[in-house]
């Protein structure tokens, strides 16, 4: 929710909590002012435009401090007359902090408080849900990491994988290993067929 106000012949767009510099107002720091020259009030999709001001709308603001603007240099020069005039000016300003925007029965401060409360509630609910999920994940991880125990409380040995050979007794060599290390012999060639020549031998000329 925001509003457009007029003060000192200028227009300002304000929201709750915003600080603006306006033309000098005769007020002490800490004093609360009500600005009733409200030209527009926007509340979500609803917009009220004043002709020239919005009925039943006003803006509450507190005076933060009295200040002065940047120095503006004014220089006047007339050629061939030896006339040089230089002036400096710093505008007196008043810094206001917007406290509330009221339009009819709706208050921007109350809407902001309700939105902040809802955000805090959602954040708290999200934190609780994350804590519960982390606790459940921790419990599952501890259950998977714990060793499996038998009916008598003894830890069960892991079953051997398929394809792994059982360890042989002392002094006994497994048959499979003996077969794998046995030298391979070439079958004899049948009678009447020439024997194959080895690649390493050379025929005498």
How confident is the model over 160-203, as pLDDT tens digits?
A: 555 555 555 555 555 545 555 555 555 555 565 556 565 655 55
Domain ranges of the chain: 2-104, 106-146
Q: State pTM to two decimals.
A: 0.57
Residue 126 banded pLDDT, cuts 50, 70, 90 = very high
Chain-centroid distance of CA 111 in Å reads 25
Query: Would you tell me how many other CB atoms lie within 10 Å of the CB of residue 54?
Result: 21
- CA atoms of 188 and 95, how far apart (whole Å): 112
How confident is the model over 35-88, as pLDDT tens digits?
A: 989 999 998 888 899 888 999 899 999 999 999 999 999 999 999 999 999 999
Q: Output phi, psi for 13, to 5 deg.
A: -95, 125
Q: What 3-state DSSP class applies to 161?
A: coil
Query: Would you tell me how many other CB atoms lie within 10 Å of the CB of residue 66?
Result: 15
């Amino acid at each position: 929710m925001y509003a457009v106000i007029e003060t000192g012949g200028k227009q300002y767009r304000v929201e709750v909590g915003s600080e603006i510099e306006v033309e000098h107002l005769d007020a002490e720091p800490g004093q609360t002012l009500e600005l009733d020259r409200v030209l527009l009030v926007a509340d979500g999709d609803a917009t009220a435009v004043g002709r020239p001001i919005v009925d039943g709308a006003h803006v509450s603001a507190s005076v933060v401090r009295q200040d002065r603007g940047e120095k503006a240099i004014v220089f006047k020069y007339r050629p061939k007359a030896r006339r040089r005039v230089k002036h400096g000016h710093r505008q007196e300003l008043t810094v206001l902090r917007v406290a509330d925007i009221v339009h009819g029965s709706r208050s921007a401060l109350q809407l902001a408080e309700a939105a902040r409360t809802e955000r805090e509630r959602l954040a708290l609910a999200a934190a609780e849900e994350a804590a519960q999920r982390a606790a459940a994940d921790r419990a599952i991880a501890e259950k998977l990491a714990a060793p499996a125990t038998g009916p008598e409380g003894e830890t069960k040995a892991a079953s051997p994988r398929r394809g792994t050979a059982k360890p042989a007794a002392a002094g006994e060599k497994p048959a499979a290993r003996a077969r794998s290390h046995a030298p391979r012999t070439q079958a004899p060639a049948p009678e009447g067929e020439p024997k194959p020549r080895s690649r390493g031998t050379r025929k005498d000329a």
